[in-house]
C-alpha cells in the first residue's frame, strides 16, 4: 500500500438536491427546478475529493442493501476508491440528504443517515490494516460517536496523523482533542466547541487559542468567503484569503477543503502550502453544482493556484487571548 494512502472514515448518503428561487418559510410551497440526485455524505465527499486529486483512498462507511447502496459501490469503483471496507447494513437503508440551493448559491440540508449512522467500532477494527498503512486519516462527526472514538484510538495506536472535521457538530468528549493532529471546524463548529462566537478573523483567533489549550496540535478554522485561519501554537497565526471564483453552489465546500488538505498532507506538503492547496480545492468545488460530483481534478487546482498566487498572510496576534466574551 502506498505511503501516501488516505483512510476516510465517515458517512455516505445520496444527495437529493433541488434549486429554489428562495428558501421556503414555514408552511410555504416553492416551485423549484433543476432536481439532481448524486453521491454525497461527508465521508463520501471527502474521499471523492482526495481520490480525484490523485490519492489512493480507502473509505470506511455503511450503505443499505438497496439500489442506492449498489449505486454507491459502483460510483466508488468508478472513482478508484477502495471500498472493501464499506459494509452492507442488513437492516437500515442507505442514507439520504435533502438539499435546497437558492439563487445565491446558499443551501439548507436535512440528512437522514440511515445505514452509515450505524457505523460502529467493529467497522473500524476491520479496517485496522488500512489505518496502520495510511499517511493520514480523515474523520468527521456525521456517524455514531463510538466510531469516531475508535478512529481516534486506532490512529493514535499506529501513530497516524488524524484530521478531525467536527461536522456536523455534536457534543463529544473534549479530551479526544489531544489525539487530533489537525482540527478543521468552520465558524459554527468552532463557536460550539469553544463558547466563543466566531464571526471574523479576530474571534477565530481567540477560538483557535482555546482549542490549542484543549490539546489540539494544529487548528484550522474556515470562514467561508472570508478565508481561513491557522494556528499551530500561541505565537503564530496565518490568515488565508479565499480564492476569487464565481459561486454556483456552496454545498460540499468544507468537504472539498478537507479532502484537499488530506491529499496535500499525505504527500508531505508543508502545512501552510497544504492550506493554500485545500483552499483552492474548496474554491473550485463551489463553481459547480452538487457535492461529490463537484470535486475538482488536481490540474485545475494547480492552475487556479498559479493564476491567483499566494493567499497566506501572517497575522499580528498582539493582544489576542484564548478567552473572549460569549
Cβ atoms of residues 284 and 296 within 8 Å: yes
Can you tell me the distance from the alpha carbon of 111 to that of 119, in angstroms, rounded to the nearest whole number?
A: 16
Cβ atoms of residues 99 and 135 within 8 Å: no
Mean of per-residue pLDDT scores for the chain: 92
Catalytic-role residue among 255, 300, 316, 325 = 255
Q: What is the pLDDT of residues 28-87, one digit of tens each?
A: 999 998 898 999 999 999 999 999 999 999 999 999 999 999 999 999 999 999 999 999
Backbone angles phi, psi at 195, to 5 degrees: 80, 0
pTM above 0.85? Answer: yes
The three cell numbers of residue 27 are: 408552511
- CB contact burial 245-275 (16+ within 10 A = b; e otherwise): eeebbbbbbbbbbbbbbbbbbbbebebeebb
Kindly state the average pLDDT of the residues 172-183.
Answer: 97
Kindly state the average pLDDT of the residues 257-268.
Answer: 98
Q: Does the annotation list 44 as a binding residue?
A: yes
CA-based nearest residue to 277, from 292, 288, 266: 266
Q: How confident is the model at residue 316 (pLDDT cuts 50, 70, 90)?
A: low
Can you tell me the distance from the alpha carbon of 224 to that of 226, in angstroms, rounded to the nearest whole number?
A: 5
200 is catalytic: no
Q: Does the annotation list 42 as a binding residue?
A: yes
Is the confidence at residue 137, as pLDDT, over 50?
yes
Q: Does the annotation list 225 as a binding residue?
A: yes
Q: How confident is the model at residue 106 (pLDDT cuts 50, 70, 90)?
A: confident
Q: Does the annotation list 215 as a binding residue?
A: no
Kindly state the average pLDDT of the residues 315-325.
Answer: 47
Q: CB neighbours (10 Å) of residue 181? A: 17
Q: Does the annotation list 84 as a binding residue?
A: no
Q: Does the annotation list 178 as a binding residue?
A: no
Model pLDDT, residue 321? 42
CB hemisphere CA count around 148 (13 angstroms):
27
Kindly state the average pLDDT of the residues 299-323.
Answer: 75
Q: Does the annotation list 285 as a binding residue?
A: yes
Q: Does the annotation list 14 as a binding residue?
A: yes
Can you tell me the distance from the alpha carbon of 19 to that of 319, in angstroms, rounded to the nearest whole number?
A: 45
| Domain ranges within the chain, ordered by starting residue | 6-25+32-314
The three cell numbers of residue 128 are: 485496522
Can you tell me the distance from the alpha carbon of 270 to that of 304, in angstroms, rounded to the nearest whole number?
A: 19
CA-based nearest residue to 74, from 38, 98, 127: 38
Q: Does the annotation list 142 as a binding residue?
A: yes
Q: What is the CATH number of domain 6-25+32-314?
A: 3.40.1190.20
Q: How confident is the model at residue 147 (pLDDT cuts 50, 70, 90)?
A: very high
Model pLDDT, residue 234? 66
Name the β-bridge partners of 62: 87
Model pLDDT, residue 225? 87
Is the confidence at residue 121, as pLDDT, over 90?
yes
Can you tell me the distance from the alpha carbon of 241 to that of 238, in angstroms, rounded to the nearest whole number?
A: 10
Is the confidence at residue 283, as pLDDT, over 70?
yes
Can you tell me the distance from the alpha carbon of 111 to that of 34, in angstroms, rounded to the nearest whole number?
A: 20
CA 75, 288, 59: angle at the middle one, nearest 5?
Answer: 30
The three cell numbers of residue 83 are: 471500498
Q: How confident is the model at residue 322 (pLDDT cuts 50, 70, 90)?
A: very low
Is the confidence at residue 149, as pLDDT, over 80?
yes
Kindly state the average pLDDT of the residues 278-304.
Answer: 94
Amino acid at each position: 500500500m502506498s505511503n501516501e494512502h488516505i483512510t476516510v472514515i465517515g458517512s455516505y448518503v445520496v444527495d437529493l438536491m433541488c434549486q429554489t428561487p428562495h428558501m421556503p418559510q414555514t408552511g410555504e410551497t416553492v416551485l423549484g427546478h433543476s432536481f439532481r440526485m448524486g453521491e454525497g455524505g461527508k465521508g463520501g465527499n471527502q474521499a471523492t475529493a482526495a481520490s480525484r486529486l490523485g490519492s489512493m483512498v480507502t473509505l470506511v462507511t455503511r450503505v443499505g442493501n438497496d439500489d442506492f447502496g449498489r449505486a454507491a459501490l459502483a460510483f466508488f469503483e468508478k472513482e478508484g476508491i477502495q471500498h472493501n471496507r464499506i459494509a452492507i447494513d442488513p437492516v437500515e437503508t442507505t442514507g439520504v440528504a435533502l438539499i435546497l440551493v437558492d439563487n445565491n448559491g446558499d443551501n439548507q440540508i436535512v440528512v437522514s443517515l440511515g445505514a452509515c449512522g450505524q457505523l460502529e467500532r467493529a467497522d473500524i477494527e476491520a479496517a485496522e490494516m488500512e489505518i496502520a498503512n495510511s499517511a493520514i486519516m480523515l474523520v468527521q462527526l456525521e456517524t455514531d460517536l463510538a466510531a469516531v472514538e475508535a478512529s481516534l484510538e486506532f490512529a493514535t495506536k499506529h501513530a497516524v496523523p488524524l484530521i478531525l472535521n467536527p461536522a456536523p457538530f455534536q457534543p463529544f468528549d473534549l479530551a479526544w482533542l489531544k489525539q487530533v493532529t489537525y482540527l478543521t471546524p468552520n465558524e459554527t463548529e468552532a463557536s460550539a466547541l469553544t463558547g466563543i462566537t466566531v464571526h471574523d478573523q479576530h474571534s477565530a483567533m481567540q477560538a483557535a487559542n482555546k482549542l490549542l489549550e484543549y490539546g489540539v496540535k494544529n487548528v484550522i478554522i474556515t470562514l467561508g468567503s472570508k478565508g481561513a485561519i491557522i494556528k499551530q501554537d500561541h505565537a503564530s497565526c496565518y490568515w488565508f484569503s479565499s480564492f476569487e471564483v464565481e459561486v454556483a453552489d456552496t454545498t460540499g465546500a468544507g468537504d472539498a477543503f478537507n479532502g484537499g488538505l488530506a491529499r496535500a498532507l499525505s504527500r508531505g506538503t508543508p502545512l501552510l502550502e497544504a492550506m493554500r492547496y485545500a483552499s483552492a480545492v474548496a474554491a473550485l468545488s463551489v463553481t459547480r453544482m452538487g457535492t461529490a460530483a463537484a470535486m475538482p481534478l488536481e490540474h485545475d487546482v494547480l492552475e487556479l493556484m498559479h493564476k491567483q498566487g499566494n493567499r497566506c498572510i501572517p497575522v499580528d496576534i498582539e493582544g489576542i487571548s484564548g478567552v473572549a466574551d460569549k
